[in-house]
Structure 1
């Protein structure tokens, strides 16, 4: 729910008095009644630290003396105020795009960036994106922490489950499969997302346990799909880097799949770009053996690592999964679109299936169709859901397409 602009508190940060006055007039013409000004980042931080100055939206220039906009944004992220930010600059678009990414990395709710001269419709459109306390809510969710003992108890009590997010064929709309994603069904706190437990598991040598739990539960559920969808055949499961280094990993996976009477061709094993960074021999032996048996291999979050090309040469991948950051930014930034298009072209030449993660809007979907991506996954199609709900969801979706 958006808040009426008259109720919002604005802070305009710009070292040019004329620019501040112009922004103030534009905000007033849109109905804003609570507008404060700062000539630089130092003054802005001083205003923000006062107890009686809680702001909803900050409009900040990037080029300022003493403390520029980038340093101000870093300090703003440390304050964790829950404020939204609109960037203003006359700098080149590629540099503004970098600062946008930096702003998001600091955990700030970025509404967007405007190039000078500022246009009223653009300003109004960005303000309309503000949602009260959006950033605070997100931070409180991610900040939820559990002790190592709680996590171990959860593993022993079989509280970790597989949720399923569908993958959709862009050309036809039909479901081609789903990815199994880990969720913790906490007895007191409900469904816990992976951000709260994946890193502690990795840091304490528990991620391997989760990998095998997820594989067994996901594979056991796959036969329940039946023939609901003519193409809903593949189940994607993530493999941890630790598991890939185990000499018997391939054998264990083959045994689990055989026990559930599934064909290896129905399973896609997703690995990150850094999968073969260590224990190269063991990793390549495991993945080569699985590929030889008919399992699909997907390079996950493609584009976020430092050795993408090398990994494509080392491992016989069948699927390239493009990271959500390129999908989300491709609409706004030419550089992201070029990388996305180049990745899709490369995958086609290597005869790899392409899947785009993080598809959240109709424009995302339309652009991927235009660029020739084969499959999509993201909230625009469906959020991850429990096993029973997934089977029902497929039926409803397939009737609609």
Structure 2
């Protein structure tokens, strides 16, 4: 989610909604084996290139494009307002009605089945959609997959009423499906290949010759750095550009000019962080250069016992540890309470990087204003403007 936020993707803009990848390719088997690489999608390719036969059609059109016109492989996009509302139809029906001029789409074109949607993404030349964060958010319990409001979406050609989204055989309930998706996202295979997908969506394979090589080239109007809406003087053309963005989506802001590093495997991560924790425990004086004397050290110098702390303090410290932000006192508290095992899967902030407060983390929801605020690029925002990132709540 941090990469999405840094690339100006926001829950408050359907044309710039956060984008997540399809990671599973098997929606027919009764069970999933996360050690079986065949169940995963090829993350080194964009959705449009997953089907070789369909890709050849895209490439033929690209090659036959007249030289005086913008050449592109894909005229549609992987993230559009229509795609977002396609997924969120059951919890945001009013948004779909507004998009569809007061009526729902044809029943057979709605989000009816995970398997059907995946197969359509692989075969349909006008369907290249990726996923949205809700597919991995355990907190929402997969409610966007359930017709909780009992809305009449119509009857399909097979005479079945459109109701809840049909799940793959390996998922018994919506929350089960979400958990399996999240486990797949955190699997060893995806961890070893997710950087390839990041290169396509947020990185150096997003535009230019590298995008052509990776079969990842979209229409020029979908790229943020290739249009200047404010500087456009022709009202008609400006309206066309805005319509293109609102209806056909936009590529995220490019964040990386070089290949994104591969994520550590869980074993490597554990080894690195265990070593780092050990070094910090051995050299607590490193923290004093940043945070000043530890309150525990100050108390000891006055022959006074350290201030008592309770479980809530420890739990708060563990939460901060998840962000890689922690003080020496909090670190010592975690060790004393035997909670440091939870730190083994998280990176502690290096000693030469200033400790920051949780309030300075980039967020997209403002508890103070009790409203969601679209997050600006991190280099354009101030610390006071940031609010905690949250997932869409489909209540």
Same-fold call, TM cutoff 0.5: no
Give the TM-score category using the shorter length: under 0.3
Q: Which has the higher contact order (CA 8 A, sep 6+)?
A: 2
Compare the two structures and name the one with the higher strand fraction. 1
